[in-house]
Amino acid sequence: MRILILCASLAAGGCATFGGSGVTLFVSKPPGALVRVEGGGECETPCTVKFDRPREVTIAKVGYQAQRLRVGPDRSKVNVELELVAPTGEVEETRMPEL
């Protein structure tokens, strides 16, 4: 399980604003992870969030180990590599074909 946090130039785009001037780009491997910010707001990677102060952030995707980290307005980019822990999606027993 690796979390890479890198500072870099920010690409255009956006999804959530919490005041202040610190804009952070979230990128995940695999893409399409849900970024949920403490205090409300969420987006799907890749996306940007504007922070007014440090907040707890959860990055999660079905079938992967969720990551929690504290991100503040001083971060311009967060790269997260999610670790595969289970098959993606759920199987409903009533939908299984008869053998």
Of the CA atoms within 13 Å of residue 26, those in its CB half-sphere come to 32
**Nearest CA to 75 among 58, 96, 50, 99?**
50
Residue 99 maps to a domain? no
Task: Provide the 8-state DSSP code for 11.
Answer: P
Q: What is the pLDDT along the chain (99 residues), one digit of tens a residue?
A: 333 332 222 333 344 444 446 899 999 999 999 999 998 789 999 999 998 899 999 999 998 999 999 999 999 999 999 999 866 566 555 555 565
Q: How many domains does the chain have?
A: 1
Residue 44 maps to a domain? yes
Domain of 39 in residue numbering reads as 2-73
Residue 78 maps to a domain? no
Residue 87 maps to a domain? no
Residue 26 maps to a domain? yes
Phi first, then psi: what are they for 63, rounded to 5°? 90, 0
Residue 86 maps to a domain? no
**Nearest CA to 30 among 78, 81, 67?**
81
